A and B are shown apart, each in its own frame.
Chain A
Amino acid sequence: MSDTRIYLDNAATTKTDPRVVAAMEPFFTETYGNPNSLHTEGRAAHSALENARERVRASLNAERPDEVLFTSGGTESDNAALIGLMTAGGRTSGHLIVSAFEHHAILEPAEWLAKHGFDVSLVKPDTDGVVSVAALEKLLRDDTVLVSIMHGNNELGTVQPIAELAAAAHGRGALFHSDAAQTLGKLDIDVQALGVDAMSFSGHKFYGPKGVGVLYLKKGLRFAPYLMGGGQEFRKRSGTQNVPGAQGFATALELMDADRVSETIRLTALRDRLEAAAVARLENVYVNGANVSRMPHITSLIVKGVEGEAMLLHLDAKGIAVSTGSACSSGSLTASHVLLAIDCPQEIAHGSLRLSMGRFTTEAEIDYFVDSLVPIVERLRSMSPVYDKMFGAQSA
């Protein structure tokens, strides 16, 4: 293993920015009170919590601070949104639509709802990795309670037309939720302009702390609390709030907002450099979603005739951290549900690599990555019993 590491897995999680750590620090040892206590310590913690909430509200352009609920992360926000909105007011049946390439934090609660009396439909993205309004409209029904479609896909980086999808859902009287764990800070999110009823966010995806998330929940919606107890977070999410986490989330978000335009330009250039070099220097390689709107920092490569985990392990030995949607990454026999949802054939989906750049990624690192990838792919292809048979005659 090399000494210096090149981290190209920022969609999995990010390094907490030292400025965020510094902003959190006082709320562990100095302002450590319980924000629900009436004494001086409690009131200080309460004002720190509400300060964080207000800063997040402002960034999201939510109408009111009590629409911003602090949670334990993206997974909880997703679970709470689906189960809280579907079962609100004692509802025991109704129709839910989620997209087929959601994160498991959406797919699993959707499956749970399906097992508990609700009707669930999956809307399929197109082969570029985008869920169209037309595809959603075909599934909307009079009894559709909620539609949940993610903003940016974590594996492909593709961006969904949230404002249009939300309008379509509302047109049939359904609520609209979006999992924006991957996009907050990276894309400009204005919850009122997007017209969403609920949106999920996760702190550790944008240089904030792990285990802290936000659920935006528009005022006036019926919602069954997912966590019950002391009635914190406006009776919608019980549990003593994570004050340092909330402060860290707010600071991390402000740092993203401060240089989003320049970072978008910088990351897009890195991404394009990586993709152009990979495609030019290797045959039978292509980029998923190359022609549609994508987040600036995620590349989904398909390297035909090579298995993803083998690439991942060799890259890791070169000091580079990446992800793969290959079956073998988890020992299963089917490739990732995301790649299958966009009709990527199984036999080439096994050769997927996800590269996700970040605040600390440099051009030199991208060049080193491509220089490392090329011989790894060539070596693995030369060890394959079927490469020439399956792909040899073609070129890209």
Chain B
Amino acid sequence: MYSDKVMDHFNNPRNVGVIADADGVGEVGNPVCGDIMKITIKVADDTVSDIKFQTLGCGAAIATSSVITEMARGMSIEDAVGITKARIAEELDGLPPAKMHCSILAADGLKAAVDDYLVKNGREPISGGPEHSDDDEHEVTCATPIIL
């Protein structure tokens, strides 16, 4: 059900860790839902110069976290906050519909890190907050898990 690209990022996650002297930190998710993600970034000339992640979560949560670090590195902060869940899924050759919430988490983590950087520097946040999922997707993601 996962693409080869998802499995590659899951098995060999890129940029795992924490940047000790980070310029921005974004932490999203909650333990009850099972997914928590932390992104730390370095910013130079309003460009993401370094980025690392830590994630507690499923295969898709880890893969989307990993891939967003590759996508965002070298991007302007404006472009970085514009990375949508659809773009992340596309970059991974697709995600199962029920797993789309994991990619929201990665996008939201990056948005939070950029906003954190801006606010720390006395500037206005630019991300506009977490991306909303529409109701159909919510239906899918809240189905009861089935163990046979």
The chain A residues found within 8 Å of chain B, CB to CB, are 11-13, 104, 154-155, 305-310, 313-314, 317, 323-338, 346-347, 350, 354, 380, 383-387, 390
Contact = CB atoms under 8 A, between A and B. Distances in A.
Nearest to B62: A310
B60 to A, nearest CB: 8
B37 A385 contact: yes
A317 B55 CA distance: 20
A123 B75 CA distance: 55
26 contacts: A12-B148, A13-B148, A305-B56, A307-B34, A309-B58, A310-B58, A314-B11, A317-B11, A323-B148, A325-B145, A326-B34, A326-B145, A327-B33, A330-B98, A330-B146, A331-B96, A331-B97, A331-B98, A383-B16, A383-B54, A383-B62, A384-B36, A384-B54, A385-B36, A386-B31, A390-B31
B20 interface: no
A313 B10 contact: yes
B124 to A, nearest CB: 26
A295 B61 CA distance: 34
B49 interface: no
Contacts of B18: 385
Of all A-B residue pairs in the complex, the 6 with the closest CB atoms, nearest first, are A331-B98, A328-B58, A385-B38, A347-B31, A350-B34, A384-B56
Residue from B27, B56, B102, B140 having most chain A Cβ neighbours under 10 A = B56
- Specify which of B34, B145, B146 lies most central, judged by the most chain A CB atoms within 10 Å of its CB: B145
Q: Tell me the dominant secondary structure on chain B's binding face.
A: mixed
Q: Which bucket holds chain B's interface residue count?
A: 35 or more
Interface of B: 2, 7, 10-11, 13, 16, 18, 27, 31-38, 54-62, 96-99, 101-102, 140-148
Given A317-B11, A384-B56, A387-B56, A328 B146 contact: no
Contacts of A11: 148
A322 to B, nearest CB: 11
A307 B141 contact: no
B143 A310 contact: no
Contacts of A331: 96-99, 101, 140-141, 143
A344 to B, nearest CB: 12
A74 to B, nearest CB: 10
A226 B143 CA distance: 27
A99 B88 CA distance: 42
B61 A307 contact: yes
Given A330-B146, A333-B101, A334-B142, A383 B58 contact: no
Contacts of B60: 328
A250 B55 CA distance: 49
A331 B99 CA distance: 5
A347 B30 CA distance: 9
A384 B58 contact: no
